[in-house]
Amino acid sequence: MKIKHHDITLKIDPKLGTLKAKDMMEVSGDEELRFYLGNRFDIISIKQGKKSLDWEVEEEGKLTTRYMVKDRDIKKDPVEINWKGNLSSFQGYRVSIIRGDLVELSGFCWWFPTIEPQSQFESFTYDLKVDLPGDWTIVTPGEIMGDGGKYRYSRKIEDIFLCASPILETFQKECCGVNLELHIPKDMIKFKEVLMDDFSSSIELCTKLFGPLKKGNGGIGIVSPRGKEGAECGFERDGLWVVGDLFTKYLIDNDWKVDSLPKSLSLHETIHGWFGIGVDFKEPWLAEAITQYLEVILTAMMYDEADIEKKYFDSYRERVEKHLAENDRPIKEYRFLDNMYTHWYLKGSWAFWDMEAAVGRDGLLELFSKIYQDYIGDTITHMEFRRISESCLDIEPDFIEYWFEDKGFEPVFR
Ligand SMILES: [Zn+2]
C-alpha cells in the first residue's frame, strides 16, 4: 500500500486553537489502507465517493494512533478522511509544534498523516489549501498557487513542512544570484542584519567552494518562534531550512559560540542545499556525515580561527567513545531517531577527517565540488560515492566500508 497523493484542505482558527482537515488520498496497492494521526485529533468520517467506510484503531502510540480503514474499494475513488482537533498546546517531537499563534506541521503533530512515525523519508505529491487569517506569514516548500489566505502547493516531497505565524517578519537580500529570504519572529528584528550576514556568508562560501546553488534548492531561512517548549534542532526541507528561536537567541547572546566553539546558525542547513538536496544521498547518514564535516571545515574558514577542527574533533571524541562503549554498531545500521546524532553526524564526520589526513583538505574539497557538479539533481548511493571517491582520490579501497559498514572507529590515517 502506498499513498501516492494527498489533496488536503485545512481550516485553522488561531483564536479558538482548532483545526479541521479533509484529506483526499490516492492510494495504490491492494492491501488495507493504514494511516497515522496525532492523538490530539479525532476522525469525523471516512468516505469513498458517497459511501461511508468504517475504521478501527490498530495501535495507540504515545503521540500518534494508527488506524485501519475497512472495506475500501481498491479500484475506486480516492479515500476521503475528515478529522478535527485542537492546536492550542505544544505536542510532538522534534520539529512538530503547534500552538495557537504558530502552526508548524510536519505531520500534524508527528510527521505527515499516513507516514509511519519513525520515518520521514516517504515521498508523495500533495496539494494543500490552508485557510488562515490574512496577516499570517506562511512559509513552506512548494509553489504558492493562490493568495488571500488560500494557499496551494503541489510537488513531490519527502514530507510536508509548513510554518505559519502572525509574528514572522520577512527580509530579503540578493546574494550570489540567489534571492535570500529570511523569516524571523518580530522580537528579533534588531538582529536581522547579523542573521542575514550569517546566512549570506554561508551561501557565498559554499558557492565559492562547490559552484552555484541551483534555483529552488535553498535560500529560504526561518527562525521559528517555538518558545520554551519547542524542540531546537534545525532541519532542511526542499529549498528551506528552519532553526528554533531559543537556539538563535543563545548563539547571539553567546557571541556565536557553543561550548566555546564558533558556530554559524545557518551553515549546516545551508550546506544541505548542495549536499542532501542539490545532490541527494540514498542513505541519509552519508548526507549528514558529509555535511557535518563540511560544517566544521567551513566554520574554520568563516571565523578564521586556528585549530577549530581539532577542537571540534576533540569535543566529538568523548561523546562518540562514550556511546560506543554502550552500543557499538556500524553507522549504516543506525536508523532515524536511533541516537543518529552521535553516529550519523559525529562519528560519520570523523570518517572524513580521517580521509582528509590521507589526501589533504584541498583534495577532499575538490572531490565534493566534483560530486556536486557531476551529480546535481541526482540521488547517489554510498556505493556510488565510494566508487567516485576511489577513482578521484588515492585512498584505501575499503575506506568507506571500514567507516560506515564496519564498526570503524580507530582512525585509519590519523
Ligand atoms: Zn543535517
The rounded distance, in Å, linking the Cα atoms of 11 and 84 is: 9
Higher pLDDT, 264 or 239: 264
Residue 112 lies in a domain: yes
* Ligand 1 centre distance from Cα of residue 12 (Å): 31
Give the pairing type, strands 379-380 and 235-237: unpaired
Provide the pLDDT confidence category of residue 309 given band limits of 50, 70 and 90. Answer: confident
Q: How close is the Cα of 340 to the center of ligand 1, in Å?
A: 11
Distance 293 CA to ligand 1 centre (A): 11
Assess whether 34 and 103 both reside in one domain. Answer: yes
Reduced to 3 states, what is the DSSP secondary structure of residue 396? coil
Give the domain-ending residue among 147, 164, 181.
Answer: 164
Statement to judge: residues 338 and 300 lie in one domain = yes
Mean pLDDT of 19-42: 86
Question: How far apart (Å, rounded) are the C-alpha atoms in residues 343 and 329?
Answer: 9
Given this model, what pLDDT does residue 198 score? 97
CATH of the domain at 218: 3.30.2010.30
Q: Is the pLDDT at 76 greater than 70, yes or no?
A: yes
Residue 104 has pLDDT above 80, yes or no: no
Q: Which of 121, 145, 164 is the last residue of a domain?
A: 164
pLDDT at 252 (0 to 100): 95
Q: Coil, strand, or helix at residue 151?
A: coil
- Pair 31, 147 in one domain: yes
Residues lying with their CB under 5 A of ligand 1, a single-atom ion: 288, 291
Of 217 and 38, the structure prediction assigns the larger pLDDT to 217
What is the distance in A from the centroid of ligand 1 to the CA of 11? 32
Structural contact between residues 94 and 336, judged by C-beta atoms closer than 8 angstroms: no
Q: What value does the mean pLDDT take over residues 66-73?
A: 91
How far apart CA 159 and CA 115 sit, in angstroms, is 9
Mean pLDDT to the nearest integer, 29-51: 88
Q: Indicate if 98 and 213 belong to the same structural domain.
A: no
Mean pLDDT of 196-222: 96
pLDDT for residue 109: 44
Using only C-alpha atoms, the chain has a radius of gyration, in whole angstroms, of 22
Counting Cβ atoms within 10 Å, is residue 286 exposed (0-12), middle (13-18) or buried (19+)?
buried
Work out the average pLDDT over 158-163: 65
Residues 93 and 227 in one domain: no
% of the chain beyond a pLDDT of 90: 40
Is the per-residue pLDDT at 50 higher than 50?
A: yes
One domain for residues 25 and 150 = yes
DSSP string across 17-44: TEEEEEEEEEEESSSPEEEEEETTEEEE
The pLDDT tens digits for 349-359 are 888 888 888 88
pLDDT band at 94 (very low <50, low <70, confident <90, very high): very low
- Mean pLDDT over 144-150 rounds to 55
Computed over every residue of the chain, the mean pLDDT equals 83
Same-domain check for residues 222 and 344: no
Of 245, 235, 325, 329, give the one whose Cα is nearest residue 288.
235
Helix (H) or strand (E) run with residue 85 in it: strand 79-86
Within its chain, how far is the Cα of 403 from the centroid?
Answer: 24
Cα 102 to ligand 1 centre (Å): 24
Residues 358-380: tens digit of each pLDDT: 889 999 999 999 999 999 999 99
Ligand 1 centroid to residue 222 C-alpha, Å: 15
pLDDT reading at 124 higher than 80:
no
Q: Is the pLDDT of residue 111 over 70?
A: no
> Is 261 among the domain residues?
no
Q: pLDDT at position 254, please?
A: 96
Q: Which of 164, 184, 217 is the last residue of a domain?
A: 164
Q: Look at residue 322 and tell me whether its pLDDT is greater than 50.
A: yes
**pLDDT-based confidence at 388, cuts 50/70/90?**
very high
407 with 329: CB under 8 angstroms? Answer: yes
Q: For residue 382, what is the domain's CATH number?
A: 1.10.390.10
SS3 state at 98: strand
Q: Quick one: 69 and 159 in the same domain?
A: yes
Q: Which residue range is the domain that position 247 belongs to?
A: 168-256
> Is 203 domain-assigned?
yes
291 CA to middle of ligand 1, Å? 6
Q: How far is the CA of 82 from the centre of ligand 1 (A)?
A: 34
CATH classification of the domain holding 133: 2.60.40.1730
Of residues 72, 91, 89, 92, the one with CA closest to residue 81: 72
Whether residue 313 is found in the same domain as residue 240: no
Task: Determine the pLDDT at residue 7.
Answer: 85
| Centre of ligand 1 from the C-alpha of residue 273, in Å | 10
pLDDT classification of 95: cutoffs 50, 70, 90: very low
Residue 272 in any domain: the answer is: no
Q: How far apart are CA 61 and CA 275, in angstroms?
A: 34
Strand ordering across the sheet containing 64-69: 33-38, 64-69, 55-60
Please indicate, yes or no, whether residues 344 and 390 belong to a single structural domain of this protein. yes
CA of 272 to the centre of ligand 1 (A): 7
CA of 350 to the centre of ligand 1 (A): 15
Hey, what's the cell of 405? 559498514
Position 51 in a domain = yes
pLDDT tops 60 at residue 106: no
Calculate mean pLDDT across residues 310-323. 84
Q: With bands split at pLDDT 50, 70 and 90, how would you rate the model's confidence at 14? A: confident
Number of Cα atoms under 13 Å in the Cβ half of residue 102? 27
Confidence of residue 96 (pLDDT cuts 50, 70, 90): low
- What confidence tens digit (pLDDT) does each residue in 286-305 have? 999 999 999 999 999 999 88
Query: Cα of 268 to ligand 1 centre, how many Å?
Result: 6
Q: Give 34 Cα–ligand 1 centroid separation in angstroms.
A: 30
Residue 410, domain member (yes or no): no
Going through 259-397 in order, the beta strands assigned E by DSSP cover: 261-262, 280-281, 379-380
In a domain, residue 389? The reply is: yes
Between the CA of 6 and the centroid of ligand 1 the distance, in Å, is: 27
Same domain, 241 and 316: no
At 16, is the pLDDT very low, low, confident or very high (cuts 50, 70, 90)?
confident
Could you count the other beta carbons within 10 Å of the beta carbon of residue 24? 16
Q: In sequence order, what are the residues at sequence separation of 6 or more whose Cβ sits closer than 8 angstroms to the Cβ of residue 306?
A: none
Our CA angle for 127, 39, 184, nearest 5°, is 55
Whether residue 262 is contained in a domain is answered as no
Q: What is the mean pLDDT of residues 277-281?
A: 93
Domain co-membership, 177 together with 221: yes
pLDDT of 193 strictly over 50: yes
Q: Is the pLDDT of residue 86 over 90?
A: no
Number of domains in the chain: 3
